[in-house]
A and B are shown apart, each in its own frame.
Chain A
Amino acid sequence: DAGITQSPRHKVTETGTPVTLRCHQTENHRYMYWYRQDPGHGLRLIHYSYGVKDTDKGEVSDGYSVSRSKTEDFLLTLESATSSQTSVYFCATQSSGQNYEQYFGPGTRLTVT
């Protein structure tokens, strides 16, 4: 296992409130990713990071922001949660080597009411 934890594992929040999800890794992997998983859509990339303070948008980045101040931590923030952001969120990491495998955390189930 790549030692990836996510917190919280479950959260229920109200529309309009800010929410921050945390991903923590112990493998010193360079690349980190945030995905959301929804039925019928598979996994879709929200944001990714290619180093400390280096981040970029994925295909479904609207309404989300990220920060990476340390190699081991990658935060995902919903500035003002909406019901359409109800989903399961997965963090993943990848080393800078050539195996191209992504390692996934256990997920955070977020419900926006």
Chain B
Amino acid sequence: AQSVTQLDSQVPVFEEAPVELRCNYSSSVSVYLFWYVQYPNQGLQLLLKYLSGSTLVESINGFEAEFNKSQTSFHLRKPSVHISDTAEYFCAVSPHSGGYQKVTFGTGTKLQVIP
């Protein structure tokens, strides 16, 4: 079994300030890690993922996340947020396997960027 904890349900931050959205997971097997973003009234879309290799992964719009196996964390960071980053962010994990992905999602963190 696996679980994902996103302790912060809402994170307000001023525009151009840095932000960190926290994600911790629990699993008895090795996992793949994901961050999805959901803009208002839309479906989720993949922001970034860790499958293997370098533990630091980046998105095209300036977000990054680092897989920390010892702390079972996959925190999402951005050094300077923009108004357009206002959205809900979901951390997710799935066990290493081919094919069907049994993905477990966290409860989400709403990022509110304040002008």
Binding site for B on A (CB under 8 A): 4, 30-31, 40-45, 48, 50, 90, 92, 94, 96, 98, 100-107
User: On chain B, which size bracket covers the interface?
Assistant: 20 to 34
Residue in A closest to B44 when the chains form the complex, CB atoms: A104
* A31, A92, A101, A107: the one within 8 Å of B99 (CB): A31
Interface centre among A4, A42, A107 (most CB of B within 10 A): A42
Q: List A contacts of B43 (CB < 8 A).
A: 4, 90, 92, 104-107
Q: A40-B107, A42-B106, A43-B44 are in contact. Are A102 and B90 (CB under 8 A)?
A: no
Determine the distance from Cα of A103 to Cα of B98 in the docked complex, in whole angstroms: 17
- Distance of B45 from chain A, by nearest CB (Å): 7
Q: Does B59 contact A (CB under 8 A)?
A: no
Interface of B, secondary structure class, is loop
Q: Are B90 and A45 in contact (CB under 8 A)?
A: no
Would you list which residues of chain B between 8 and 48 have a CB under 8 Å from chain A? 9, 32, 34, 36, 41-46
Q: How many A-B residue pairs have CB under 8 A?
A: 57
Q: Does B72 contact A (CB under 8 A)?
A: no
Q: Are B32 and A100 in contact (CB under 8 A)?
A: yes
- Distance of B86 from chain A, by nearest CB (Å): 18
Q: Does B55 contact A (CB under 8 A)?
A: no
Q: Does B103 contact A (CB under 8 A)?
A: yes
Residue in B closest to A35 when the chains form the complex, CB atoms: B105
Q: Are B42 and A106 in contact (CB under 8 A)?
A: yes
Q: Are B46 and A42 in contact (CB under 8 A)?
A: no
* A31, A43, A106, A107: the one within 8 Å of B100 (CB): A31
Give B77-115 as 1s and 0s: 1 = Cβ < 8 Å from A's Cβ atoms. 000000000000010001000111111011110000000
Contacts A/B (CB < 8 Å), 23 sampled:
A4-B43, A40-B9, A41-B107, A43-B44, A43-B105, A45-B102, A45-B103, A50-B99, A50-B100, A90-B44, A92-B44, A94-B100, A94-B101, A96-B99, A98-B98, A100-B34, A100-B94, A101-B34, A101-B46, A102-B44, A102-B101, A104-B44, A107-B41
